[in-house]
Structure formats: structure tokens, C-alpha cells
Amino acid sequence: MKSDTGMQRLAITGLRFEANLGILDHELASSQPISVDIELNQGAQPLLPPDDHISSVLDYRLVHGTIIAVCKEQHVNLLESMTGKLCQSLLALPGVIGVRARVTKLKIFDDCEVAIHMEAGKWNK
């Protein structure tokens, strides 16, 4: 049986930038380096878009810009809060039915990184 659709996911990984995040004195005084990885569930999609134009699909630039805007919008105390806000904003994008987000504080401790991974919306298990 021939299928014209497939389950589509979009991933952006290794996005690194500075964000205003944390409760320690030095975190309140200046931005901190973070890394963001996301996966978006777009559900069943045509194997081929109706044409070869960016307006026919979820524009990666919109996703990239949303991630940076949410994470830089204002100071956030908790990594959990930033990750939750990111999931909410990405779920609001057209055609997105599920979000997996991982936000990592790269320099919270001298010997390790700390990350929060959150999954929201619909995912096939």
C-alpha cells in the first residue's frame, strides 16, 4: 500500500547563546551561556510539500527566532520556567502539535552542566 504522508518532526540542536537566567549573584549581574535543543512534532505531513517554497512548510527561521526571543525576553530565575515558556511558545507555532525542549546551563558549576528536558503536546509513543 502506497502512502502519501509521513510523520514529520523538525529538530534544531546545539543552538548556543547568552540568556538572563539564574538566581546566583553573578547570574543576576550578567547573562549566562545556554544551549537549546528542540524537536517539534508536526504530525502527518505530505511526503512532498505542494510546492518547493518556504511558505508551504514551517519556516525554520521562525522557529529559531522564537527560541532566541523567548529565552532572551526577560530575566528568569529558574531553568524550569524558561523551558516551560519555550514549550508554550513553540506549541503556538502553526502546525506544531508537540514539543520536546532541552535547555542546558553550560557554566552553572565548574565540573558539569545542568539541563531541563520538557515534553509537551502530542507525541506517538
pTM score of the predicted model: 0.91
The pLDDT > 90 percentage for the chain reads 80
pLDDT for residue 97: 97
Q: Give the pLDDT of residue 1.
A: 61
Q: CA 125 to CA 121: how far, in whole Å?
A: 12
What is residue 19's three-state secondary structure?
Answer: strand
DSSP assignment of 50-118: SSSSGGGS--HHHHHHHHHHHHHSS-BS-HHHHHHHHHHHHHTSTT--EEEEEEEETTSSSS--EEEEE
Q: Would you place residue 96 in the very low, low, confident or very high pLDDT band (cuts 50, 70, 90)?
A: very high
**13-62 confidence digits (pLDDT tens):** 999 999 999 998 888 899 999 999 999 999 999 998 889 888 889 999 99
